[in-house]
A and B are shown apart, each in its own frame.
Chain A
Amino acid sequence: MTEPTTTPDATPGATVTADVPLVRARGLVKRFPITRGVVLQRAIGHVHALAGVDFDIYAGKTLGVVGESGCGKSTAARIVARLLEPTEGTIEFEGRDITTLSRRQMVPLRRTVQVVFQDPYASLNPRQSVGQIIAAPLRVHGVEGDRRKKVQELMAQVGLNPEHFNRYPHEFSGGQRQRIGIARALALEPKLIICDEPVSALDVSIQAQVLNLLGDLQRERGLAYMFISHDLGVVRHVSHRISVMYLGSIVENADRDALYDNPRHPYTVALISAAPTGERGARTRRLLLAGDVPSPAAPPPGCTFHPRCPKARLVSGDPAEVPERCRTERPVLTDVGEGHQVACWYPIEKGDAEKMMEIQASEITLEGDPELGVAQTEGLTDAQPRPDDLVDGGTGL
């Protein structure tokens, strides 16, 4: 595996030149209307699932996307997989704008982008044998030839016993089912696989098996991954470049190690800090965020992170105050050197982390941010979908 770079080298097996990304997403916006009424529906508001997102996915590389529930990571993935239409913005595939393509024109493109889902059992038809499941994309796309042989090859490739092609999903364990899902995704020899939390539902010891398999496949086939996860450890392990998302926006975009070694967005710092590491005394080094993620139906003005941002309080010098700019102006992703982009008016500097923790320590015990807790509820009283209900679960998939 090569070292991750911003403009990746041409990897063996990749069909695109280094400069043109496989996928280039620009200004993606997705709003889900919140409707009332049975027959005559009228939108009474929107869930801002994506609020203008740019990213590139390069052939043979993995773009990791991390964030908490409601951050829009799954929406972005589904838009790339063409399972959802963006409200605004464009997606180019190998330099070609596919946002405007018709269903029919999309057919060949669909082969090149496949999805592996979180819950391996829910995404497999229990009445079909594994062979049928893996062969289904071949059938749908009219691939000729010895399908059974092809299926068995695929099964072997993902570490399943090819003899078991006649068995049904319930006869397999969780990890094996996820292997079936991967084999199915591989059947059409895609260029990009979107992995939506592919190991979250698996036991720890099995997670490693699947992650290793994904890594091996990438090396062998030059696959690109868009890897969605809430688990920073997993994302760090698989990704070349990582986008951190918060409330529908990318707040930080960086190469893997740059992100972990030198996070510049306060949210990224908090996220890394909060992740359990199993290290002794880790707790004392934690940066705890106050409150919860606000509702994407009523995102805060300015920087959406400002109500919870410890850095903003550091800047203002008052735990209860936030600089005006953070409250009013929305920061855009800005390059802070070597392709490291951050959307923050006051990016983290050396020593900030320790200082922030001091503020935090006093804040976390005083009942979080009272305004936040109640305000969020009020924003959601009228049966508006909760972020976790809607953005990642309510898209009809």
Chain B
Amino acid sequence: MGRYIIRRLLWTVFIVLLASILTFLIFFVLPAGDPALRFAGKQPTEELIAQARVNLGLDKSLPQQYWLFLSRLIGGDEYGWPGLGYSFHTRDAVLPELIDRSRVTGSIIVGGALMWMVIGVPVGVISALKRKTFWDRGLMGICLFFISAPVFWLALLSLLIFWKHLGWLPGTGYVPFAQNPGQWFAHLILPWCILALLYAAIYARLVRANMIDVVSEDYIRTAWAKGLSPRKVVMHHELRPALAPIIALFAIDLGALVGGTIVTETVFNMQGLGNWLLIAANNNDLPVTMAVTVVVAAAVCILTLIADVLLAIIDPRVRLQ
């Protein structure tokens, strides 16, 4: 197990490097505009452009630039470790902003994920157990609605109702937990719900499908033949195999959301990583793009690692190799 985790962590490093190289190449290959032009101002002179290149490190060859990125990443820079440089766009150190924004995105994702699991799993289980009943059809209908409803629209609608009309919740924006836990919660509750509704719906359908598969497994028949109570059959025999496949998916979804809650962040005006990546991409902000890429890649890798370890604990057939 220990060796496996170490190997996987090395693998993570490899993936992160690969992702950063790809991002780096995409940045320079895509015809997106020369960042130096932007920093040379509105009326650039050749000297100014050249100077901007030097200032941004764009005067060096691509391998040199990448090497610089890498050595800073590993060795740290004046802003701390890992060294992520400073933003082309805000001219500000990337690391502290990354930490700030990670808190925002983290708050959204963790809360949302908790919510969607707490809603999605029971809904799926109930639907599967009450298969083809009014409950099942009703719940799955609702799920289908949330899966097909555009997140953007749902988010705006929820704001309109709960902020503008009812006035129950504060509007958009983020309040750090350390500043005011109550406000933090009040501001996050809608984004959580919006994020959770879609995923809860997806997960409910998955759990239901898995449960239905599991229910017809031979070993469930064995469980009944043992004279177990229905509760015990569900809790002890059906749930585990039905949820095991969800774990891997959960990890990947969570990882993807690290950089992917763009719509939620934009609508609810949360300055998180997704939003940042969007701004960075719009502004040729290489250091920020690279930083978010590294974080997302690392998050996906580490989350899937955790999922795999969890899966191995839950399902003894899975071997960590």
On A, residues with C-beta under 8 Å from B are: 36, 38, 382-383
Contacts and interface: CB of A to CB of B under 8 A. Distances in A.
B1 to A, nearest CB: 12
A382 B4 CA distance: 13
A386 to B, nearest CB: 11
Interface residues of B, number: 5
Nearest to B318: A383
Contacts of B319: 382-383
A297 to B, nearest CB: 14
Contacts of A383: 317-319, 321
Contacts of A382: 319, 321
Contacts of A36: 321
A385 to B, nearest CB: 11
A9 to B, nearest CB: 50
A38 B317 CA distance: 18
Given A36-B321, A383-B317, A383-B318, 5 more contacts: A38-B11, A382-B319, A382-B321, A383-B319, A383-B321
Nearest to A38: B11
Dominant secondary structure of chain B at its interface with chain A: loop
Interface string B293-321: 00000000000000000000000011101
Contacts of A38: 11
Interface string B49-78: 000000000000000000000000000000
Question: Which 7 residue pairs of A and B lie closest in terms of their CB atoms, listed nearest first?
Answer: A383-B319, A36-B321, A383-B321, A382-B319, A382-B321, A38-B11, A383-B317
Nearest to A381: B319
Nearest to B320: A383
Interface string B1-45: 000000000010000000000000000000000000000000000
A36 B319 CA distance: 11
B318 to A, nearest CB: 8
Interface string B245-281: 0000000000000000000000000000000000000
B44 to A, nearest CB: 45
A23 to B, nearest CB: 39
Contacts of B11: 38
A120 B313 CA distance: 38
Nearest to A37: B321
B311 to A, nearest CB: 13
Contacts of B318: 383
A38 B11 CA distance: 10
A245 B177 CA distance: 70
A36 B318 CA distance: 13
Most buried by A among B11, B317, B321: B321
8 contacts: A36-B321, A38-B11, A382-B319, A382-B321, A383-B317, A383-B318, A383-B319, A383-B321
B314 to A, nearest CB: 15
B265 to A, nearest CB: 32
Contacts of B317: 383
Nearest to A44: B321
A383 B319 CA distance: 6
A382 B316 CA distance: 11
Nearest to A35: B321
A130 B321 CA distance: 45
B30 to A, nearest CB: 26
A190 to B, nearest CB: 38
B60 to A, nearest CB: 31
A383 B317 CA distance: 7
Interface in B96-129: none
A33 B11 CA distance: 22
A260 B211 CA distance: 49
A383 B4 CA distance: 14
B292 to A, nearest CB: 24
Nearest to B8: A38
Nearest to B11: A38
A192 to B, nearest CB: 38
A382 B1 CA distance: 12
A54 B11 CA distance: 45
Nearest to A34: B321
A8 B321 CA distance: 52
A383 B320 CA distance: 9
A36 B11 CA distance: 14
Nearest to A36: B321
Nearest to A383: B319
A208 to B, nearest CB: 29
B10 to A, nearest CB: 11
Nearest to A384: B319
A365 to B, nearest CB: 27
A36 B321 CA distance: 7
A95 to B, nearest CB: 46
A382 B3 CA distance: 14
B4 to A, nearest CB: 10
A36 B317 CA distance: 16
A383 B321 CA distance: 8
A35 to B, nearest CB: 9
Contacts of B321: 36, 382-383
A383 B312 CA distance: 12
A37 to B, nearest CB: 8
A36 B8 CA distance: 13
B71 to A, nearest CB: 25
A360 B318 CA distance: 37
